[in-house]
Amino acid sequence: MITVVGSLNMDLVVQTEQIPRVGETVLARDLRYVEGGKGANQAVAAARLGGNVSMIGAVGSDDMGDRLLTVLERDGVDISGIKRSTEPNGIALIIVDANGNNSITVVSGANFDLDAEYIHLHEDKIAGASIVLAQLECPLEFVAEAMLVAKNHGCTTVLNPAPAQKLSAELLANVDILTPNETELELLSGHSTATPEEIEAAGRKLMESGIKSLIVTLGSKGCFYMDADSAEYYPSYKVKMTDSTAAGDCFNGALVTALDRGDYMHDAIHYAMKAAAISVTREGAQPSLPTVKDMENFDVWYQERQEK
């Protein structure tokens, strides 16, 4: 079983030709309300790909919260660990440009109505899991306690350190697999990540914190994997990007699903990269996440969608 500890947001998405610069006004085509939040996205990604998924988090006691829970339940996620908070629901304001790039601002809301004690109220969901996956859109004490409790129960712990922020040595020591992007790796390691050589050097520095494996997601350039014995770059599947929102969440959800069913890390990374490739060709966060059927048809799909 996979337990996801993290955030749930309603995404307010606008499509523009370009992301505005400071002081610039741009016109948007429309405004869409799309289910999101890094935690919820990763939980849905894992569930759609066949994972047995439970989630611990919080939503508002409002229509947005109702809608987020309904969608999670529809995708088969166990929502009994999700708190109905008196705080407003979390909201993400997302601008997507014509090339599929995005700019995101998050209003945390109910996601910050969580603490270490809440982890213990739902410790059974961690104790019964083989993998626990978390991110950083909730309070650090909540995330840190989840990683500690998971390690105490013998779970594999996976932390997607997004959005980027400094983390304590104590928290990192309880992480088995860390999945930063280049920006997050630079912040955590204190080293530049401008070149492949610098990424590897930054990764080795970060490995000193006690994590067992590091996967650096590099967008269209693929990803970089490192453990105590090996280091390898994985090229991406080249497709025409429509919207990169939730691509990293898709990668993480697919990765833990593959690992939970017993795949070796090498195969799990390839599986996660295929899932992320599908997601960037679709609009929105959770609506972009692939299903088992999508993955079964990937080779045929990729022949048609591959960017030459």
Which token pair is 128? 């019964």
Asked whether residue 155 carries a pLDDT value surpassing 90, the answer given is yes
Asked whether residue 175 carries a pLDDT value surpassing 90, the answer given is yes
Quick: pLDDT tens for 22-76: 899 988 888 889 899 999 999 999 999 999 999 999 999 999 999 999 999 999 9
Looking at residue 246, what is its pLDDT?
Answer: 85
Question: Under CATH, which number does the domain 2-7+38-87+111-305 receive?
Answer: 3.40.1190.20
d(CA 284, CA 294): 17
CB 46 within 8 A of CB 291: no
CB 165 within 8 A of CB 136: yes
Checking 215-222 for CB contacts under 8 A at 24+ apart, the result is 215/177, 215/178, 215/179, 215/255, 215/269, 216/179, 216/180, 216/181, 216/182, 216/185, 217/179, 217/180, 217/181, 217/248, 217/251, 218/181, 218/182, 219/181, 219/244, 219/247, 222/273
More confident of the two residues 98 and 125: 125
Asked whether residue 222 carries a pLDDT value surpassing 80, the answer given is yes
Looking at residue 106, what is its pLDDT?
Answer: 86
Asked whether residue 98 carries a pLDDT value surpassing 90, the answer given is no
Which token pair is 101? 């790039």
Model confidence band, residue 141 (pLDDT cutoffs 50, 70, 90): very high
CB 75 within 8 A of CB 48: yes
Give all strands of the β-sheet with 9-15 in edge-to-edge order: 31-36, 9-15, 90-96, 102-107
Looking at residue 68, what is its pLDDT?
Answer: 95
Model confidence band, residue 111 (pLDDT cutoffs 50, 70, 90): very high
How high does pLDDT run on average in the chain?
Answer: 94
Rounded to 5 degrees, φ, ψ at 236 are -85, 165
Sketch the domain layout of the chain as residue ranges.
2-7+38-87+111-305
Looking at residue 29, what is its pLDDT?
Answer: 81
How far, CA to CA in Å, does 46 sit from each of 206, 275, 304?
27, 10, 25
Cα angle 302, 250, 245 (rounded to 5 degrees) comes to 90
Looking at residue 37, what is its pLDDT?
Answer: 93
Q: What is the pLDDT averaged over residues 207-216? A: 92
Looking at residue 245, what is its pLDDT?
Answer: 78
Which residues on neighbouring strands pair with residue 94, listed in sequence order?
A: 13, 104
pLDDT over 70 percentage in the chain: 100
Quick: pLDDT tens for 238-293: 998 888 878 999 999 999 999 999 999 999 999 999 999 999 999 888 889 999 99
Looking at residue 90, what is its pLDDT?
Answer: 94
The one catalytic residue in 75, 78, 243, 249 is: 249
Counts of helices then strands in the chain (DSSP H, E): 12, 13
The position carrying tokens 């993955």 is: 295
Looking at residue 171, what is its pLDDT?
Answer: 95
Active site residue 249: yes
- pTM: predicted TM-score of the whole model, two decimal places: 0.93
